């Protein structure tokens, strides 16, 4: 994979479990927090990803710098509009300088600890006043978000179980031993597009643009720099790398249970070829995928957990008896691996909220 989605902390572990035989929670924690060969970083589409350390440079240039700039501008505008600070740019520059100074000695700190130490991180902004989803949003964590997107600080240790996100923050230099060395932006975009094509190709310009969170122009330039080859996708123009045109041998049919926001489920903008008619049942209104059940390259349903921790299939079509047994075997394997741990996805699908036995909504 190019990266694993990290917005929902459990996704990282469950996505790896689905792909790596014998993967244990301790293995992922070793890679994230001890070896630091995997790093959490805000990147494409302002989404938190878990990336191989060696990918940080081109991801920073090809996506994260753009996200950081947008976050800075939005935050400066919001604090000025809310009347918190008259000069948003000067405030953000000073607040950022204090955060970097506080983390310069190699320490790790939570956002609450930094807010208590740095008065400039205090204050909140009201969003959606009068609406059910509205409320006060503190500005301190948003300062940390801009610094993280810019590659200056990172989410370091986690003060919680693997299913929750309670990050401690550290400077990038202290956590990784070096700064992120980013190439020119054009080169970073091209490297990201190349890796997308190797994992998800063939795909359309629209697919790549959506995944990258960039522009059509940037995608077309990258495709040209890569000498990508046009291929036919049932009447649409798709692209592959010039050294990836050989017909692949068929593989044996396979079953998989993937978590919400899994990178395969979220890999393309145009999903009809593997999603079929199930979009409204498996994606929320914001385009976030829930947990899915796959058979032989297609989504055929979803899954959720019972209150006792058992993985329950929610198959949406008649896949056949042998196919169903294979999916049930995966459900049993995942139940055993979870060992009673309940995973509550941040973005549950509409299907996952329905009880299979009654068709009623599952109580929140």
User: Model confidence over 138-184: pLDDT tens digits?
Assistant: 999 999 999 999 999 999 999 999 999 999 999 999 999 999 999 99
Q: How far apart are CA 12 and CA 47, in angstroms?
A: 13
What percentage of the chain has pLDDT greater than the value 90?
91
Q: Is the peptide bond before 120 cis (omega within 30 degrees of 0)?
A: no
Please tell me the pTM assigned to this model. 0.93
Q: What's residue 306's pLDDT?
A: 95
Compute the CA torsion angle 295, 254, 312, 302 (nearest 10 deg). Answer: -30
199: which 2 tokens? 């994992």
In which band, very low, low, confident or very high, does the pLDDT at 133 lie, cut at 50, 70 and 90?
low
- Domain range list for the chain: 36-176, 192-240, 255-353
Percent of the chain whose pLDDT exceeds 70: 95
Note the Cα 261 to chain centre separation in Å: 7
Contact between residue 87 and residue 41 where contact means Cβ atoms under 8 Å apart: no
pLDDT over 80 at 343, yes or no: yes
The Cβ of residue 329 has, within 10 Å, a number of other Cβ atoms equal to 11
Alpha carbon of 97 to those of 92, 169, 268: distances in Å? 8, 15, 38
CA distance 287 to 263: 13
Work out the mean pLDDT of the chain and round it to a whole number.
94
Residue of 36, 40, 38, 13 lying closest to 24 (CA atoms): 13
> 288: helix, coil or strand?
coil
| Residue 225, CA distances (Å) to 118, 196, 205, 233, 355 in order | 46, 15, 14, 22, 50
In CATH, which of 2.170.240, 1.20.120, 1.10.10, 1.10.3470 is domain 192-240?
Answer: 1.10.10
pLDDT, one tens digit per residue, over 261-315 is 999 999 999 999 999 999 999 999 999 999 999 999 999 999 999 999 999 999 9
DSSP 98-116: HHHHHTTTS--B-HHHHHH
pLDDT band at 136, cuts 50/70/90? confident
Give just the sign of the alpha carbon dihedral 50, 52, 56, 61. negative
The secondary structure of 296-320 as a DSSP string is TTEEEEEEEE-TTS-EEEEE-S---
Mean of pLDDT values over 326-330 = 98
């Amino acid at each position: 994979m190019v990266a694993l989605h990290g917005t929902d902390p459990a996704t990282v572990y469950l996505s790896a479990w689905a792909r790596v035989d014998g993967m244990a929670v301790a293995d992922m924690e070793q890679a994230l927090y001890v070896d630091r060969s995997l790093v959490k970083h805000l990147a494409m589409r302002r989404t938190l990803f878990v990336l191989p350390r060696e990918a940080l440079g081109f991801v920073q240039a090809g996506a994260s710098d753009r996200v950081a700039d947008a976050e800075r501008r939005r935050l400066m505008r919001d604090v000025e509009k809310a009347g918190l600070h008259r000069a948003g740019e000067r405030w953000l520059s000073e607040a950022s300088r204090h955060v970097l100074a506080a983390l310069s000695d190699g320490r790790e700190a939570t956002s609450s600890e930094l807010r208590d130490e740095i008065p400039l991180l205090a204050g909140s902004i009201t969003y959606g006043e009068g609406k059910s989803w509205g409320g006060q949003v503190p500005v301190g964590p948003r300062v940390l978000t801009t610094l993280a997107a810019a590659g200056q600080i990172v989410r370091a240790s986690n003060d919680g179980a693997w299913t929750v996100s309670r990050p401690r923050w550290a400077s990038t230099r202290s956590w990784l031993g070096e700064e992120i060395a980013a190439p020119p932006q054009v080169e970073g975009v091209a490297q990201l597009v190349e890796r997308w094509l190797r994992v998800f190709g063939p795909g359309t310009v629209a697919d790549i643009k959506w995944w990258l969170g960039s522009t059509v122009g940037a995608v077309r330039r990258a495709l040209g720099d890569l000498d990508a080859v046009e291929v036919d996708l049932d009447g649409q123009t798709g692209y592959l790398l010039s050294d990836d045109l050989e017909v692949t041998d068929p593989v044996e049919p396979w079953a998989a249970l993937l978590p919400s926001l899994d990178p395969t489920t979220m890999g393309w903008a145009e999903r009809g070829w593997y999603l079929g008619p199930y979009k409204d049942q498996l994606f929320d209104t914001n385009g976030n995928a829930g947990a899915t059940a796959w058979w032989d390259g297609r989504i055929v349903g979803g899954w959720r957990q019972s209150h006792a921790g058992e993985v329950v299939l929610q198959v949406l079509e008649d896949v056949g008896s042998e196919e169903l047994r294979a999916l049930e075997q995966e459900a049993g394997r995942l139940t055993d691996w979870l060992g009673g741990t309940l995973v509550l996805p941040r973005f549950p699908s509409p299907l996952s909220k329905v009880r299979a036995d009654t068709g009623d909504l599952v109580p929140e």
